[in-house]
């Protein structure tokens, strides 16, 4: 028995000195290397795939998404297992966890479910209202809800939230970014990102937030909004809801707000809602004693940094 042990120790000592074997061992047991290898393979697969093809994306939490290879933003991110929007969402939840019970999520601009599905599937929220106006995104949203087995927890609405009910809004589609479909603006003549050259336009039906969210507990509800510059008009249609001051998250992008000439309306409503605190997810900074002047400071700060935007959390 002693001879066998001695032989084993000598063999192990010899193998440790062989560089090739040492390198292979490091590769096998270096999870970071393997993770990067898997991610790089996914990137290559997605980027080399022909467009307008649906693929199945999965992540480490066993969440599944049907995505389209033409969508180089949210679809691509989900395919390569990068849901940075949801990481941002988790940060928000951590901030408000002592202020509300996380029962109902209102996901306005739900896209294909990258926020609402993990929020419900992981048990962070018990239920959700998911609102998505664009028909193809909505189709993928409903499919993704089904394949993740959360159909009984997420209620879907194929409408655009706006200041009035039952209108038809002209909606411009982006060919390569399915999260940048947006209500068309006729207020400016020059679009910096060539939005005016988009070829496909559809019409979507509108509802007010006050119509969709009639009975709710503001101490159990988070309103999460990403509507590509139309935030002020959504707030205008949700005055009764937001006057109860549920925690509210909006994308804050001066360029998009300016396309609708809506910053003043946005500020007026946010001030009237009387939220006391604001949190900037980009700079990770708090604004206590929120006022219109402080929102002006944020507006001019981000306006001076062209192309940079943030999410703002408003809460008590």
Q: Where are the domains of the chain?
A: 2-34, 83-315
Q: What is the spatial distance between Cα 311 and Cα 316, in angstroms, rounded to a whole number?
A: 17
Q: What is the CATH number of domain 83-315?
A: 3.40.50.150
Contacts of 25-29 with CB under 8 Å at 24 or more apart are none
What does the angle CA 150 – CA 64 – CA 132 come to, to the nearest 5 degrees?
65
Please state, rounded to an integer, the average pLDDT across all residues of the chain.
91
For 134-176, the pLDDT digits (tens) are: 999 999 999 999 999 999 999 999 999 999 999 999 999 999 9
Residue with token string 């001051």: 245
For 186-199, the pLDDT digits (tens) are: 776 667 777 878 88
Confidence of residue 32 (pLDDT cuts 50, 70, 90): confident
Task: Mean pLDDT check: name the lowest of 6-10, 82-86, 162-166.
Answer: 6-10
SS3 242: helix
Q: Beta 201-207 vs 248-252: how paired, if at all?
A: unpaired
pLDDT of residue 229: 95
Q: What is the spatial distance between Cα 192 and Cα 3, in angstroms, rounded to a whole number?
A: 78
Contact assessment for residue 104 and residue 216, using Cβ atoms and an 8 Å cutoff: yes
Contact assessment for residue 157 and residue 207, using Cβ atoms and an 8 Å cutoff: yes
């Amino acid at each position: 028995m002693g001879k066998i042990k001695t032989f084993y120790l000598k063999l192990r000592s010899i193998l440790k000195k062989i560089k090739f074997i040492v390198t292979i061992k490091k590769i096998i047991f270096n999870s970071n290397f393997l993770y990067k290898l898997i991610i790089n393979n996914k990137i290559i697969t997605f980027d080399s795939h022909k467009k307008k093809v649906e693929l199945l994306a999965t992540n480490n939490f066993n969440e599944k998404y049907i995505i389209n290879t033409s969508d180089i933003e949210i679809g691509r991110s989900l395919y390569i297992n990068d849901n940075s929007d949801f990481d941002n969402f988790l940060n928000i939840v951590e901030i408000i966890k002592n202020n509300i019970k996380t029962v109902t999520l209102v996901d306005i601009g739900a896209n294909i479910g990258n926020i609402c599905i993990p929020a419900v599937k992981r048990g962070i929220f018990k239920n959700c209202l998911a609102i998505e106006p664009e028909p193809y995104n909505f189709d993928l949203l409903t499919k993704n809800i089904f394949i993740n087995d959360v159909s009984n927890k997420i209620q879907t609405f194929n409408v655009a939230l706006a200041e009035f009910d039952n209108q038809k809004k002209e909606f411009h589609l982006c060919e390569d970014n399915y999260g940048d479909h947006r209500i068309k603006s006729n207020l400016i003549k020059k679009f910096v990102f060539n939005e005016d050259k988009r070829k496909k336009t559809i019409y979507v039906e509108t509802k007010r937030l006050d119509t969709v969210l009639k009975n709710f507990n503001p101490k159990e509800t988070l309103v999460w909004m990403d509507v590509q510059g139309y935030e002020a008009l959504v707030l205008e249609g949700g005055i009764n809801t937001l006057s109860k001051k549920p925690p509210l998250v909006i994308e804050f992008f001066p360029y998009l707000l300016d396309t609708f000439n809506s910053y003043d309306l946005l500020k007026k409503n946010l001030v009237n809602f009387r939220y006391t605190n604001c949190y900037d997810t980009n700079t990770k900074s708090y604004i206590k004693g929120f006022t219109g002047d402080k929102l002006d400071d944020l507006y001019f700060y981000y306006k001076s940094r062209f192309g940079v935007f943030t999410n703002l959390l408003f809460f008590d």
